[in-house]
Amino acid sequence: MANSSLITDELRKLIGMTLETIVFKVEEGAIQRYAQAIGDPNPIYNDPDFASKTKYGRLLTPPGFTGWPTKAGRLSERLLESLAKAGAPSRLLDGGIEFEFFESVGAGDVLTATTKIADITERETRLGKTMFTTLETTFVNQKGNVALKSRSTFIMF
Amino acid sequence: MAKQVYCEDVEVGTEITPLAKIATTRMLVQWAGASGDFNPLHYDEDFAKAMGVGAPIVHGALKRAWLGHLMTDWIGEEGKLKKLSCQYRGMDYPRKMKTMQEPHDGEIWWCKGKVTKKYEQGDEHLVECEIWVENGKGEKTTPGSALVALPTRSGK
Find, in chain B, the residue whose alpha carbon is nearest to that of A66. Answer: B35
Per-residue model confidence (pLDDT) at position A82: 83
Asked, as a colleague might, if the bond just before B94 is cis with ω within 30 of 0, I would say no
Give tens-digit pLDDT for A74-87.
556 677 788 888 88
Per-residue model confidence (pLDDT) at position B131: 98
List the domains of chain B with CATH numbers. Answer: 7-22+59-149 (3.10.129.10)
Q: How far is it, in rounded angstroms, from Cα B72 to Cα A116?
A: 29
- Higher-confidence residue of B142 and A20: namely B142
Substitution target in B26, B35, B67, B140 with the highest count of A β-carbons within 10 Å is B35
With beta carbons under 8 A apart, name residues in chain A contacting B73.
40, 42
Integer distance in angstroms from the first to the last C-alpha of chain A? 18
Closest CA to B117 of B149, B95, B91, B87: B149
For domain A2-26+65-156, give its CATH number from 3.10.129.10, 2.60.40.10, 1.10.3720.10, 3.40.50.1970.
Answer: 3.10.129.10
Per-residue model confidence (pLDDT) at position A1: 44
Segment among A20-24, B4-8, B84-88 with least mean pLDDT: A20-24
Find, in chain A, the residue whose alpha carbon is nearest to that of B90. Answer: A95
Per-residue model confidence (pLDDT) at position B2: 62
Q: How far is it, in rounded angstroms, from Cα A146 to Cα A141?
A: 6
Q: How far is it, in rounded angstroms, from Cα A44 to Cα A46?
A: 6
Q: How far is it, in rounded angstroms, from Cα A97 to Cα B89?
A: 12
Q: How far is it, in rounded angstroms, from Cα B84 to Cα B94?
A: 24
ipTM for the predicted complex comes to 0.94
What pTM did the predictor assign? 0.92
Give tens-digit pLDDT for A26-53.
999 999 999 999 999 999 999 999 999 9
With beta carbons under 8 A apart, name residues in chain B contacting A68.
34-36
Per-residue model confidence (pLDDT) at position B3: 83
Provide the shortest C-alpha distance from residue A66 to chain B (in Å).
8
Give tens-digit pLDDT for B116-139.
999 999 999 999 999 999 999 999
Q: How far is it, in rounded angstroms, from Cα A11 to Cα B101?
A: 45
Instruction: Give the count of beta carbons closer than 10 Å to the beta carbon of residue B130.
Output: 16
DSSP string, B68-93: HHHHHHHHTTT-EEEEEEEE--S---
Instruction: Give the count of beta carbons closer than 10 Å to the beta carbon of residue B56.
Output: 23
With beta carbons under 8 A apart, name residues in chain B contacting A97.
60-61, 64, 85-86
